[in-house]
Amino acid sequence: MAVDPRTGRFIGSSIGLVFGVVFVLANTGELAPGPRLALRLAAVVVAVVLAVGTVRQLRRAGADEPVPGRGGFDRRYAAVVAAEVLALAVGLAVINGVLQAPRFAVTWVAFVVGVHFFGLARIWRLPQFTGLGAVVTALGVAGAVAGFLGAGPAVIGVISGVLSGVALFAWVGLALRHD
């Protein structure tokens, strides 16, 4: 079942904003206080501005009327999310416990989150998720490569974490352009 475009954009944008903020807040801890504070404040401000725009868009679209169905949250969605949660748990257990390389945790999170967008693009018939998935997956890989080349946790966090948050914010901004 395809997601109603109004509902899909609103739900997707809301989730993107929350996780965009989480990516930035969780991955700026290794930065100097000034840049850390600036990035965290910017993330919150951008998220609030985009949230206001998202709500306005939903209201303009007349989405106060109920949308039939469950908005695409069916068994296929549950399977994608379950696979994502399992991959995150197993991968993080290996990275943190077996390999004892916690600086790579964010690279795995970005990679898995990026890959999950490919599944959502297919089941919801929302091809714009494919581009977002490609970007976030690539940022996960780029952070891992940087780490293997000797980059420290701050650089890895910016590449795989902060930039993944920026990608999510950019995707929400692009979604606002569709009325």
Report the range of poorest mean pLDDT among 19-23, 62-66, 84-88, 163-167. 62-66
Give dist(CA 163, CA 17) in Å, integer: 13
- For the stretch 27-59, pLDDT in tens is 999 999 999 999 999 999 999 999 999 999 888
CA dihedral 75, 2, 60, 57 (to 10 degrees): 70
Give dist(CA 151, CA 155) in Å, integer: 6
- Of 35, 55, 8, 12, the closest CA to residue 169 belongs to 12
pLDDT at residue 81 greater than cutoff 70? yes
Confidence of residue 123 (pLDDT cuts 50, 70, 90): confident
pLDDT at residue 4 greater than cutoff 90? no
- CB burial of 1-35 (b: ≥16 within 10 Å; e: otherwise) equals eebbebbbbbbbbbebbebbbbbbbbbbeebeeee
Residues 6+ apart with CB under 8 A from 7: 63, 67, 71, 72
- For the stretch 91-114, pLDDT in tens is 999 999 999 999 999 999 999 999
pLDDT at residue 62 greater than cutoff 50? yes
Alpha helices in 27-103 (DSSP H): 33-60, 75-93
Structure tokens at 48: 């609030």
Other beta carbons within 10 angstroms of residue 97's beta carbon come to 9
Report how far Cα 31 is from the mean position of its chain's Cα atoms: 21
pLDDT of res. 127:
86
- For the stretch 141-164, pLDDT in tens is 999 999 999 999 999 999 999 999
Per the prediction, the chain carries an average pLDDT of 90
